[in-house]
Amino acid sequence: MRSLSRRDVLRVAAPVFLGLGAAAAAVNEPRARAADTRLIDFAEKRIAPEEIKGAGYAGVVNYVSASRPGANFEAKPITREYADALRAAGLQIVSNFQYGKPGWPDPSDYTRGYDGGVADAHTAEQLHNAAGGTASAPIFFSVDDNIDENTWNGPAVQWFRGINSVLGVGRAGIYGHARACGWAIRDGVIGNSTTPGHRWAWQTRSWSNGEREPAAVLYQTVVNSPSNPSPLLGGINVDIDDVLAPDYGQWDFPR
């Protein structure tokens, strides 16, 4: 996306291989997946579009936020050149913002409350636009931490309200565990997919304790961690995301 991060605490089973499709899904898993479409998310380096497509993925979730000092991630933020290459290969792009994280000098973004949300939304929008992101596409903002409801009701929801003041609710999305996605929906701080019954929620399996948010458009089903490395692509470990709705926030969707 690590000290106390989703990758370090996740306990995943063996990596999920491509091509398993619906046969590998849990019995109670939501059935709205768009033809078993999958994306990848990553930051360490830019993976060649041809490799992504050749591996059977439909696209990527990429960052519209700067790389933290000391991290120096090649694919963060997404550039116009890389975005154009992905699109030319027929791949979809979803925008995600995350700068800080637990355990770094820069704290988790949500801890900065309303004013932090305003600043982060301006940054995210500028980088999204610079890379060629479309005006109708949402931006998912990461709550990459095992927050409880008290924390949500304090700085986290205020952070989203600051984001809303810049982007509007309709273009704001959340990345987080099942409960965080549910709180964001309950409090009306994220927007609606054009797919009925779905909201701009990208759920991670980390910290979700097997729970699922049925309104999510994306589900991060494979998360890299030191004890459970995820599949390699382009020489790096990539996280894998199930698509749960036809309109999952991709740039090139006619809204």
How many CB atoms are located within 10 Å of the residue 53 CB? 15
Contact 172, 181 (CB under 8 A): no
**pLDDT at res. 101:** 84
**pLDDT at res. 124:** 98
Beta strands in the chain (DSSP E): 38-41, 59-63, 92-97, 139-142, 172-176, 201-204, 218-222, 232-233, 236-237, 239-243
**pLDDT at res. 34:** 57
pTM: 0.86
Contact 147, 180 (CB under 8 A): yes
**pLDDT at res. 50:** 98
Q: Rg of the chain over CA atoms, in angstroms?
A: 16
**pLDDT at res. 102:** 81
**pLDDT at res. 35:** 53
**pLDDT at res. 2:** 39
Residue 98's nearest CA partner among 89, 90, 107 is 107
What are the pLDDT tens digits along the chain (255 aa)? 434 444 443 333 333 333 333 333 333 344 444 558 999 999 999 999 999 999 999 999 999 999 988 888 999 999 999 999 999 999 999 999 999 988 777 889 999 999 999 999 999 999 999 999 999 999 999 999 999 999 999 999 999 999 999 999 999 999 999 999 999 999 999 999 999 999 999 999 999 999 999 999 999 999 998 888 999 999 999 999 999 999 999 999 999
With a CB cutoff of 8 Å and minimum separation 6, the contacts of 15 are 222, 228, 229, 230, 231
